[in-house]
Amino acid sequence: MMRSRYGLLCLLVIFVLASCGGSGLNTTPMAASAGEKLVATSHDKRPAWTYREPGNEKGTFFFVGLSGKYATEKLGREDAQRSSITNVVRFMGTTVKDNFQRLTTAHGLSSDIVDPTVATRRFEQQLNNAMARRVKVKEYYIEQWENKLKERYFVAFALSTVPQKSIDQVYEATIDGEIAQLKKKRNAANNAKARKQFTDAMKAFEEAKKQGFSSTE
């Protein structure tokens, strides 16, 4: 149940979620528009996770999503969940791209053989499709605001979880896809040097698959 908080003008804290190294995302507070006031919340106190994500523990990743302004609480919740999925994909995609970039550099692979940006894009597409089913919302925090025209709207925060194994499965599937494409290119290559380059790239991806996603953080 929402708890009323009528009174003086309050500051709306809107979180700008951006990827950072480590386990979670930092947040940056911004002021509310003039004349807006907070009138109700779902909790007596804003949860700590709305300021900074708890990261990951015991095989589970945590991500926070923030909705836009909505006329109903339900729409706010749905948007917050979508936002958390976007943040999962963005954060994991950055990690994977860094890993693929290190992979190509360490094995001396050219972008003609392996393009980290293209490989990462495929990973993100697969991850986005998978996360729609696997991301679960653990907790919502809701705020209701009133603007200077006396119109009310809701802003929702969602603390979502995703199992490490779900990330691992998508990561492995992406690598398997890259290896399959490299194998086709190797078989179609018309000289020994090109075939060796594709074979080296396949070995590099096999190595990355063996190490697993967790080693890329």
The pLDDT tens digits for 72-121 are 999 999 999 999 999 888 888 888 888 888 888 888 888 888 888 888 88
Model pLDDT, residue 52: 83
State pTM to two decimals: 0.72
Which helix or strand (DSSP H or E) is residue 172 part of? helix 164-188
- How big is the CA angle at 118 (ends 185 and 194), to the nearest 5 degrees? 25
| Number of other residues whose CB lies within 10 A of the CB of residue 54 | 17
Could you tell me whether strands 60-66 and 37-41 are parallel, antiparallel, or unpaired per DSSP bridges?
unpaired
Which helix or strand (DSSP H or E) is residue 37 part of? strand 37-41
Q: Determine the angle formed by the axes of helices 192-211 and 164-188, rounding to 10 degrees.
A: 170
Q: Is the pLDDT of residue 12 over 90?
A: no
User: Is there a contact between 15 and 141 (Cβ–Cβ < 8 Å)?
Assistant: no
3-state secondary structure 50-116: HCCCCCEECCEEEEEEECCCECCHHHHHHHHHHHHHHHHHHHHHHHHHHHHHHHHHHCCCCCCCCCH
What are the structure tokens assigned to 75, written together? 């729409």
What's the pLDDT tens digit per position in 142-161?
999 999 999 999 999 999 99
